[in-house]
Each structure stands twice: as C-alpha cells, then as structure tokens.
Structure 1
Amino acid sequence: MFDKDALQTITANAIAAANLTIATGGHKLAVLPKDVTLHNLEPFQLGRDRFRGALRTHSLTDFASYVERHTTNEPKPAGFVDQDAMSATVIFNLGTDAQPGHGDDTATLTLKPTAAYVALQAIAGKAMSQQALAEFLEDWMPHLMAGAGEDALPMPAAINAVRRMKITATSTRDSEVGDLSARRSAMDEIEARSLETMPTTFIFTTRPYEPLEAAAITLRVSVITGRDEPLLKLRWVGEDAQREGFADEFKQVLDKAVGGLVPLTIGTYQQCK
C-alpha cells in the first residue's frame, strides 16, 4: 500500500513524463505538477538564445547609427515618437500580427535640453527680486536682446535699469460736501519706476535641444508691487504654441535621421502581457 504522499509523487512524475500540452485558441499550455520548478539554462550556454537589450541615449547621431546597424533583420522594426517627452523608441523585435515578437530589444532616444534652455524654463513665470533677475540677465547676456517698447535697448543699460528700480507711492484725496451728506475718498497708488529706461521685453535665443534649430523666445517683463521691494516676472509669450513647434521639429528631425529605416508613429507603445 502507498500512502498519500507517495501516491502524489508517483502521479506528479507521471504527469511530467507524459509531456502533455493543451492548445486553447492560439495559446499553448503545458500540464505540469504543482511543485515543478522551471530553470532557464541560457546563462550556462556559450551564447544567448536571441539578441535583446535596451539602448538609452541623448545623442541623435548615436541613436541613428545604432538603429541603422540593427535594421538588417526582417520583419522591420517599429518606431514610436512621444512628442510630449521629446523622446522616441524603436522596437526591433516587435514582429507582425502573424508572427509577433517579444518586443524586448529596443533603442530609446530622449533629447536633453541645453543648459540655456534649462535656465530659461527655471525662471519663466517666476517672481524674482531685482538682484536675482539682474544676475540672470548678466549670466546669459550672450543669449539676450532687450527692448523698451519698439526700441532696442543695450543689455548693459537694461540690466542697470533693473538694478535701479524704486517704489513710488502717491496719494490722491477727493472731497464732496452736500447739504445733507459729506463724502471723502482716498486712493493710494504704488508704482515701480526705474531711474533708467526700463526694458519691457527680452528676446532669449537658444537651441532648446541640441538637434533642433535656435529659437527666439519672447519674454515680457511685468512688475509686482505691494511690498517694500518690487518683484519682477518674465512671462514667456506664446509658450504653449512654441513648445508645440519644438515637438513638431523633433518629429521632422527624427524622420530625417531614421525615417527611411523605421516607420514612425506618434505616440507611445506598451506591450500587453
């Protein structure tokens, strides 16, 4: 007589030896005992079962070279462009509908913003002191042009005007007396003025990302009063539209670099399990 454990062991060995499989509408399932452990023997082989990996780079040139070296196999790879993230991913073994691949051999390009563009994004729309704005203008003077209304303004003069701003407060009182009433009102006006010609706009010119062309970004100057020292803010004029332009240019540059090798689709791709 066999006890329960012995019978379970004999049954499990019989199932494993039978090598039973079940086909279920495109999927193939193996019948195995509950306690069977699968082992991958690939690490002990001289070579891998297939090529797979994930390249990540900020360089468009290196990305294009890598894609070119890996497009000799059929079926052709597929590329996906995420314009919001300024990135693109090529999947080399995605396969086809008839012969789907594992999708685990990829190359990803993520554009890195230039130092000047990073500095611009850090201050755009942010309230700054006179000192902070003046230092920003001095640090990035080669990228900047200043204007006062329709007239151009030399950058040294514009920076000096920012440094020499002061707060002016004026008070106006109105008095009206009638037969049965008397009304008085007071209006205080606080204004920030500069001892020099104050700039109203700055043009910041830089490449937002290395592969893209230089862009002229207009910054409108606004002054915030209501405290002892004025605060200044640079508002990026037409920011959303200009960012969309950068994304469109990225797609064009990418298409020129690898579009002949890989069909590109706008969007992101995630393989489902």
Structure 2
Amino acid sequence: MSLTKEALQHIEASHKTGTEAADGHALLVGDNFTVVDMEKYQDHRRRFRGKFQTQGLKDFMAYVGNRQADAPVFIDRDAMAASSYLDIGDVTLPGHCDHSATLRLPKTPEFTAYLQANDSTLDQEEMVELVEDWGHLLAFENSKGEPLERGKVIHAFRKVSLEDLTSIDSEKQEHSSRVGVMNSVTVKNAERLPAVIYWKLVPYEGLAERTLAMRVSSKTKGGPSFGLRAIALDAAREEIAAEFAKLVTDGLPESECLLGIFNP
C-alpha cells in the first residue's frame, strides 16, 4: 500500500520520534521525510559486507573457499586478476554484491626488468649493469649456439670496439650492421658476445618458474650499443595467463570459475 504525501505528513506529525520504515531498519523524520538508517544504532549489521583485496593467490583462494562455495569466481586473464561477490545470490534471489574478494597478482621484479629490457637499446655501460644486476638469472649463448660464461660476457661488453671494414659482403651477421655498399661496421670478437640471453624467473607471485629468451643485436650508429628483443613474448604471456586461470580453477574446485569480468 502506498501513502500520499499528506498521509505521510500526518503520520510524521503524530510521531515525535519519527516513523518506522523498512521493517524497522529506518526512520522517516522531518518535514521532508528524510530516511535515517538505524543500523549503526543496532548491535549487529543487517548483513555481512566488505571488500577483501589481496595480491596473494593462496590468500584469495582461502578467503573465497572458506566462505561461499557457490559464489562464482570471475577470472580476468589479461589483467592477471580474479574476483568473487560472495553475496551475489542468483537470478531468483539476487544479493547486494556488498561482500567481495579481489585478487590482482603482482609482477615480480625480475619479470618487470625483463619487460623493461624488451625493445630497448643499451650502451656498453648499461648493458654491463644489466648483466651485473640480473646475472644470477641469466644464461648466455653466442650466435653459434655455444654457452658463454657470465664473467666473460661482462668483459666482452666492456671491451667491445668497432672496426671499419671495406667490404661488399651482403651477409648481415648477428653483431654487424650495413652502413653503405662499400663500407660496413662490424663488432670485433662478436663470438664473445651473446646472441641470446635466457632469463630464468618467476613472472608473477605464486606461478611457476620459467625461462624466457631475449635476442641481442649490435647497433653501431653513434658508438657501440645493443638492442634487446624478447623472443615469442606473446606466446609466453598466453601460457602464463593459462597457468594463472588453471591455478585459480583447481584451487577452488567447488566454485564456478568463469573467464571474464562481472560488474554488479
């Protein structure tokens, strides 16, 4: 039954403390019938609500798994994130979606360094610093497929020099670049420099360790420098995202896990 404004004004005038509404959970007060929520004056909330946010894969699965097994989990592979609304309800009895859990996996410092190095050009000093900073993760291979020692690689980068050669050679070596038809610049002792660097790292917290490859090429314009390019990075990202989705799905066997984003 709906009440007219006049009826509500009459009720308000006859109740100095206000008129109850929403089964006693609120009061209508004042000439403008302002709604006052009474929850804060009660001993307990009407329902549980809150937002749990974490970067820990195990923490997310523990929180969701211990509270509402039938709440769906939405997995965003592109963002390496997952979320669940534990009071979502269903189509017949929808919930308020006030109680949520959100996971966003952080990149590791090692993976961040790998991505920052990708598609970059480093001079000799910067290249040496990269190998010194992350050398404990790296393995090196020259253009012949032969392994190289880290100490010798650092020394080779420090001592690399350029030599002008008069040549009509059309072959482009791993560490050389064409300057003109009759003149090319080639890196001395190129076999001592790595053609491929292998990074052994954990890309995101909670995922498995994997090896990512990066090609090294020499650039001679303006002095010796080195270009770095990740090999098959898109394929690696797909594998990492698939691993993440499988870990969440396997870790919450009683929950419906869906690929996608849900906005309540």
- 2:49 paired residue number: 52
Deviations, residues 136-164 of structure 1 (Å, cap 9, x unaligned): 11111111110012111111111211111
What is the count of residue pairs matched by the alignment?
233
One-letter code aligned to 1:61: K
Moved over 4 A (4+): 15-19
Structure ID, larger Rg: 1
Q: 2:97 aligns with which of 95, 103, 106?
A: 103
* Aligned residues: CA RMSD: 2.5
Cα gap change, 1:38 to 1:221, in 2 (>3 Å): same
- 1:230 paired residue number: 224
One-letter code aligned to 2:33: V
One-letter code aligned to 1:99: L
Which consecutive unaligned segments of at least 5 residues does structure 2 have? 13-29, 169-179
CA distance in 1, matches of 2:56, 2:82: 12
Percent of paired sites with the same residue: 28
Deviations, residues 76-131 of structure 1 (Å, cap 9, x unaligned): 21110000110100111111111111112111111122221122112111111111
Per-residue deviation, 1:17: 5.5
CA distance in 2, matches of 1:206, 1:78: 32
Deviations, residues 10-41 of structure 1 (Å, cap 9, x unaligned): x844245589xxxxxxxxxxxxx994322222
CA distance in 1, matches of 2:258, 2:76: 9
Cα gap change, 1:264 to 1:34, in 2 (>3 Å): farther
Q: 1:43 aligns with which of 40, 45, 49?
A: 40
- 1:23 paired residue number: none
Of 61-70 and 212-221, deviating more is 61-70
Per-residue deviation, 1:213: 1.1
Contact 2:164 2:185 in 1 (8 A): yes
Contact 1:160 1:196 in 2 (8 A): no
- 1:70 paired residue number: 67
Which consecutive unaligned segments of at least 5 residues does structure 1 have? 1-10, 20-32, 174-184
Contact 2:119 2:229 in 1 (8 A): yes
Per-residue deviation, 1:241: 0.6
Cα gap change, 1:230 to 1:71, in 2 (>3 Å): same
